[in-house]
């Protein structure tokens, strides 16, 4: 399908499922059929008339489950399953690709999809190192493709309401301090023995450009606890709220990033990411510092806000999460606003296994913005450049923690100013057989 032909169909795509009818549909593929990839795909077919033609995963059981669930939801989808994304892109020639693989695969798969002519919905974080993020941005612009990064706080209904009512209106005043936190006990704490790789799982392919570690079981979601595949809780959770804060306050690159932390408590685990860490993203021109704290042990100071951020302004404060926001004015009564749910409009949400039902409306809105951006030839709300800034800043926080010194990144020269060692670490070494983009 040519771009002009595809764009002409987009307004008709944004229909409720009951309004779907036969027509040439844009072809969609999914790379990564795990928890979040499957969820992204199900949210897309709820709001758009598309044809899912391909599913790709190195886990054959995930492929089968996703294909079965897809056919149960909408029978017209008859996707072919693939173990290699390159083969799927070449055979199916899709218009849209969704990528929700582990972080260490994002760059190679994203650039392959962009070079194949796909518009792209790419899960966060953009890449596993700063150079990968730069390469994806370059490929998106070179191929003139729309890339929506899965930073859906920018499309979250109650946060959009909060932005309009208290930030854009000026009620919050000048914001001079931000706190972001995550106190989920989410880091893998197990000690596992090496086991044989099951027949249904291609561990060599799953590892890809990352180091080939001893196989200790299929690493569904558990991979995030290993620095070899991602950037820990900072790269997973901080990136969401740091990006949200940048969006809400109109912030670009931080002038300086510092961080401290390590494995302080869960020392017996195989995991290699920090269980305790703080980071500071500095904006001196705004007289503003954005502080991050995570701790994957103990209890949250406030059990109602275990993963949250707070904007402190001269006119009041805003505390927010994926579940709600709270306005705390300098004078007057506080106001609590809960997340938007769409159970009546999309009743299948209620019974879907593993769904984050409070996040589903945000993902649907994010998908709608993605398709509209393709139609209008504009940048989406979580464009690849913003995803690059937010992701790279979190990666730099981890580098600052490892090097035990603050870092100043120059995005024009693409170097850490006055720090050759840190600049060299902007690029991870790929495993033999894989070539960096």
Question: Which DSSP string corresponds to 401-436?
Answer: HHHTS-B-EETTTTEETT-HHHHHTTSPPPPTT---
Sign of the Cα pseudo-torsion (337, 343, 345, 349, in order): positive
Alpha carbon distance 25, 43 (integer Å): 17
Q: What pLDDT does residue 220 have?
A: 87
Q: What pLDDT does residue 22 have?
A: 41
* Residue 114's CATH number: 3.40.50.720
- Chain centroid to CA 104: 13
173 sits in the region (left: phi over 0; alpha: psi -120 to 50; else beta) called: left
Q: What pLDDT does residue 19 have?
A: 42
* Residue 411's CATH number: 3.30.360.10
- Of 133, 153, 173, at which residue does a domain stop? 153
Q: What pLDDT does residue 221 have?
A: 86
Q: What pLDDT does residue 16 have?
A: 43
| pTM metric for this prediction | 0.93
Phi, psi of 104 (to 5 degrees): -70, -10
Q: What pLDDT does residue 1 have?
A: 38
- Domain presence at residue 211: yes
Alpha carbon distance 292, 310 (integer Å): 11
Q: Judge if 240 and 133 occupy the same domain.
A: no
Alpha carbon distance 160, 359 (integer Å): 14
Q: How many structural domains comprise the chain?
A: 2
For residue 269, give its domain range: 155-353+384-424
C-alpha atoms less than 13 angstroms from C-alpha of 293 in its C-beta half-sphere: 12
Alpha carbon distance 209, 297 (integer Å): 31
Alpha carbon distance 158, 146 (integer Å): 25
Q: Judge if 134 and 229 occupy the same domain.
A: no
Q: Judge if 88 and 98 occupy the same domain.
A: yes
**CB distance 365 to 47 below 8 Å:** no
Q: Judge if 342 and 206 occupy the same domain.
A: yes
Residue 389 CB neighbour total at 10 angstroms: 23
- Domain presence at residue 413: yes
Q: Judge if 311 and 394 occupy the same domain.
A: yes
Q: Judge if 133 and 198 occupy the same domain.
A: no
Alpha carbon distance 311, 242 (integer Å): 12
Q: Is 95 helix (H, G, I), strand (E, B) or coil?
A: coil
10-residue block means of pLDDT along the chain (437 residues)? 45 46 76 95 96 97 95 92 98 98 98 98 98 98 98 98 98 98 96 96 98 94 94 98 98 98 96 98 98 98 97 98 97 96 95 94 98 97 98 98 98 97 98 95
Element (DSSP H or E) covering residue 240: helix 239-249
Q: What pLDDT does residue 108 have?
A: 98
- Of 103, 123, 153, at which residue does a domain stop? 153
Q: Is 16 helix (H, G, I), strand (E, B) or coil?
A: coil
Q: What pLDDT does residue 200 have?
A: 97
Alpha carbon distance 237, 184 (integer Å): 10
**CB distance 157 to 381 below 8 Å:** no
Q: Judge if 223 and 95 occupy the same domain.
A: no
Q: Judge if 102 and 83 occupy the same domain.
A: yes
Element (DSSP H or E) covering residue 256: strand 256-262
C-alpha atoms less than 13 angstroms from C-alpha of 364 in its C-beta half-sphere: 25
Q: Judge if 7 and 27 occupy the same domain.
A: yes
- Domain presence at residue 363: no
- Of 153, 171, 188, at which residue does a domain stop? 153
- Domain presence at residue 371: no
Sign of the Cα pseudo-torsion (344, 347, 350, 352, in order): negative
Q: Return the exposure string of 109-145: e unless at least 16 CB atoms fall within 10 Å of the residue's CB, then b.
A: bbbbbbebbbbbbbbbbbbbbbbbbbbbbebbeebeb
Alpha carbon distance 1, 249 (integer Å): 39
Alpha carbon distance 162, 145 (integer Å): 31
Q: Judge if 76 and 200 occupy the same domain.
A: no
Q: Judge if 291 and 339 occupy the same domain.
A: yes
- Write the DSSP symbol of residue 238: I
Distances (CA, A) of 345 to 62, 139, 349, 407: 28, 38, 9, 47
Alpha carbon distance 318, 335 (integer Å): 10
Alpha carbon distance 162, 153 (integer Å): 12
Q: What is the DSSP string of 140-184?
A: HHHTT--EEES-GGGG-HHHHHHIIIIITTSTT--EEEEEEEE--
Q: Judge if 218 and 341 occupy the same domain.
A: yes
- Domain presence at residue 366: no
Rounded to the nearest 10 degrees, what angle do helices 35-47 and 360-376 cross at?
A: 60
């Amino acid at each position: 399908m040519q771009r002009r032909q595809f764009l002409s169909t987009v307004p008709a795509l944004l229909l409720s499922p009951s309004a779907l009818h036969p027509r040439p549909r844009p072809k969609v593929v999914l790379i990564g059929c795990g928890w979040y990839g499957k969820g992204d795909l199900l949210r897309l077919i709820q709001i758009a008339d598309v044809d899912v033609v391909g599913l790709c995963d190195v886990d054959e059981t995930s492929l089968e489950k996703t294909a079965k669930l897809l056919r149960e939801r909408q029978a017209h989808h008859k996707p072919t399953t693939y173990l290699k994304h390159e083969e799927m892109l070449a055979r199916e020639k899709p218009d849209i690709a969704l990528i929700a693989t582990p972080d260490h695969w994002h760059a190679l798969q994203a650039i392959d999809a962009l070079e194949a002519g796909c518009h792209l919905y790419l899960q966060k974080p953009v890449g596993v190192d700063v150079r990968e993020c730069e390469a994806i941005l370059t490929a998106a612009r070179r191929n003139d493709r729309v890339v929506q990064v899965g930073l859906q706080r920018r499309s979250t209904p109650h946060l959009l309401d909060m932005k309009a009512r208290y930030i854009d209106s000026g009620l919050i005043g000048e914001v001079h301090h931000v706190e972001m936190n995550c106190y989920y006990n989410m880091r893998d704490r197990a000690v596992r023995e090496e086991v044989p790789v099951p027949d249904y799982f291609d561990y060599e392919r799953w590892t890809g450009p990352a180091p080939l570690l001893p196989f200790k079981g299929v690493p569904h979601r558990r991979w995030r606890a290993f620095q070899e595949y991602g950037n820990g809780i900072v790269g997973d959770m901080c990136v969401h709220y740091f990006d949200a804060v940048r969006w809400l306050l109109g912030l670009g690159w931080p002038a300086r990033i510092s961080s401290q932390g390590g494995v302080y408590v869960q020392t017996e685990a195989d995991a290699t990411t920090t269980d305790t860490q703080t980071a500071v993203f500095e904006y001196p021109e705004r007289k503003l510092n954005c502080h991050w704290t995570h701790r994957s042990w103990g209890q949250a100071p406030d059990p109602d806000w275990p993963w949250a951020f707070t904007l402190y302004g001269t006119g009041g404060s805003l505390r927010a999460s994926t579940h709600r926001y709270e306005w705390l004015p300098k004078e007057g009564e506080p106001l609590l606003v809960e997340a938007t749910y769409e159970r009546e409009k999309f009743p299948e949400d209620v019974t879907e296994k593993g769904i984050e039902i409070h996040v589903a409306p945000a993902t649907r809105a994010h998908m709608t913005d993605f398709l509209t951006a393709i139609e209008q030839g504009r940048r989406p709300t979580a464009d690849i450049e913003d995803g690059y800034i937010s992701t790279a800043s979190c990666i730099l926080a981890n580098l600052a923690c490892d090097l035990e010194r603050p870092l100043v990144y120059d995005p024009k020269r693409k170097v850490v100013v006055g720090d050759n060692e840190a600049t060299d670490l902007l690029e991870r070494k790929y495993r033999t057989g894989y070539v960096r983009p």
